[in-house]
């Protein structure tokens, strides 16, 4: 998590594309993203900002458009309009692989692991280490190197509960599997790690492990975007909370300034987000497209 200076943020509006949070330059940013599916407007001018090293929670009701926003940011959905910047540079991802090549790793709601394969192989899925020389050219895998690296990474992330990395992933508990998926993202994400409801299927203890992992990743300087319904989890790990409503960002708040029930009210619209935290573009009710 980043220091406290990011938690009392104020959104200011400058030139188009220049929404700033005090003096901190966002590492990942989007402005006025729109995505329509026929008559359904899944994103209706969504803004987004992620600061270096922070954990940003994205919260909102079912159907608010959180997943669509995340898919647009990670190359799984191409927005109809709007702009995305990575490190200040406009980007347009054509696929999740494209976003991944730029350092954006995503852990989706459905676990993206291969159950029958061992843990080390899962960590390197699609990015296997090859032997050097002729054997490498013949696509021989360097299993020993992958196992050593997998062990180091799991240890560095504090995933000590995974004892034998040669075991198939299907032998792990749900929480351990999710830990492998999160570790994979942390290993290869060089800019941003994005997680859509990573604890939705987990018990209390397992959720605790994944939350610890998220904190560790952010402490290593890699910012994390966490979509979650779990308010205690959000309050435990988030530096800032992005409230998504009716297809757009309604505002960004600091957990220390509000209660969990305030956030629930902001999500449903029962309570207005304080003016200084409200998104300058948010109109409620939204403009009809
Ligand atoms: N592929 C799709 N086709 C049609 N409608 C979609 C599609 N994806 C999302 N939607 C619609 O867009 C809205 C936002 O969905 P989503 O982004 O999944 O919201 P959330 O993740 O906040 O629950 C919903 O009304 C949903 O039904
Ligand atoms: Mg969703």
Give the residue whose CA is nearest to atom 17 of ligand 1: 65
Mutation choice for ligand 1 from 40, 72, 108, 195, CB with most ligand atoms inside 8 A = 40
Unique residue bearing structure tokens 């009392």: 8
**Whether the bond into 176 is cis, omega within 30 of 0:** no
**For the CA of 69, the nearest atom of ligand 1:** 17
245 C-alpha vs ligand 2 centroid, how far in Å? Answer: 12
Q: Where are the domains of the chain?
A: 9-103+191-213+221-283, 118-188
pTM of this structure: 0.83
153 C-alpha vs ligand 1 centroid, how far in Å? Answer: 35
pLDDT at 15 over 70: no
User: Residue 251: which of 266, 265, 236, 237 has the closest Cα?
Assistant: 266
Lowest mean pLDDT among 37-51, 111-125, 167-181, 202-216: 111-125
CA triple 180-100-51, angle to 5 deg: 90
**For the CA of 64, the nearest atom of ligand 1:** 22
Amino acid 51: pLDDT: 96
State if residue 163 touches ligand 1 by the CB under 6 angstroms criterion: no
**For the CA of 227, the nearest atom of ligand 1:** 21
State if residue 62 touches ligand 1 by the CB under 6 angstroms criterion: yes
Report the CATH number of the 9-103+191-213+221-283 domain: 3.40.50.300
Q: Which of 9-13, 22-26, 258-262 has the highest mean pLDDT?
A: 258-262
Amino acid 50: pLDDT: 98
Give the residue whose CA is nearest to atom 7 of ligand 1: 37
Amino acid 1: pLDDT: 46
Share of the chain above pLDDT 90, in %: 50
- Alpha carbons 250 and 64: distance in angstroms, whole number: 11
Is the distance from CB of 95 to CB of 78 less than 8 angstroms? no
Give the residue whose CA is nearest to atom 27 of ligand 1: 63
Is the distance from CB of 64 to CB of 249 less than 8 angstroms? no
Of the pLDDT bands very low, low, confident and very high (cuts 50, 70, 90), residue 134 is confident
- Alpha carbons 50 and 223: distance in angstroms, whole number: 7
Give the residue whose CA is nearest to atom 4 of ligand 1: 37
State if residue 67 touches ligand 1 by the CB under 6 angstroms criterion: yes
Q: What are 233-282's pLDDT values in tens digits?
A: 999 999 999 999 999 999 999 999 999 999 999 999 999 999 999 998 88
Q: Return the higher-pLDDT residue of 221 and 3.
A: 221
State if residue 228 touches ligand 1 by the CB under 6 angstroms criterion: no
State if residue 66 touches ligand 1 by the CB under 6 angstroms criterion: yes
pLDDT at 205 over 60: yes
pLDDT at 208 over 70: yes
- Which ligand is closest in space to the CA of residue 37? 1
Give the residue whose CA is nearest to atom 9 of ligand 1: 42
State if residue 63 touches ligand 1 by the CB under 6 angstroms criterion: yes
């Amino acid at each position: 998590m980043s220091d406290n200076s990011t938690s009392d943020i104020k959104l200011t509006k400058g030139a188009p594309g220049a929404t700033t949070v005090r003096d901190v330059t966002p590492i990942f940013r989007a402005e006025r993203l729109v995505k329509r599916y026929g008559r359904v407007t899944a994103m209706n001018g969504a803004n987004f900002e992620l600061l270096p090293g922070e954990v940003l929670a994205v919260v909102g009701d079912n159907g608010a458009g959180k997943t669509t926003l995340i898919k647009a940011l990670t190359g799984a959905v191409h927005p109809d309009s709007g702009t995305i910047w990575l490190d200040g540079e406009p980007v347009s991802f054509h696929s999740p692989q494209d976003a991944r090549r730029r350092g954006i790793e995503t852990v989706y709601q459905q676990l993206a692991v291969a159950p029958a394969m061992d843990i080390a192989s899962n960590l390197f899925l699609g990015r296997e280490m090859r032997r050097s020389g002729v054997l490498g050219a013949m696509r021989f895998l360097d299993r020993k190197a992958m196992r050593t690296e997998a062990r180091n990474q799991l240890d560095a992330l504090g995933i000590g509960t995974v004892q034998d990395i040669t075991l198939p992933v299907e032998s792990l508990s749900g929480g351990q599997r999710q830990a492998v998926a999160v570790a994979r993202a942390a290993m290869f994400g060089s800019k941003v790690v994005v997680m859509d409801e990573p604890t939705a299927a987990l018990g209390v203890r397992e959720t605790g492990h994944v939350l610890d992992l998220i904190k560790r990743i952010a402490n290593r300087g890699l910012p994390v975007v966490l979509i979650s319904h779990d308010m205690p989890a959000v309050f435990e790990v988030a530096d800032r909370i992005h409230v998504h409503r009716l297809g757009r960002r309604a505002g960004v708040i600091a957990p220390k300034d509000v209660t969990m029930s305030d956030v629930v009210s902001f999500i449903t619209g029962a309570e207005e987000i304080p003016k200084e935290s409200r998104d300058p573009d948010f109109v409620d009710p939204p403009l009809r497209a």
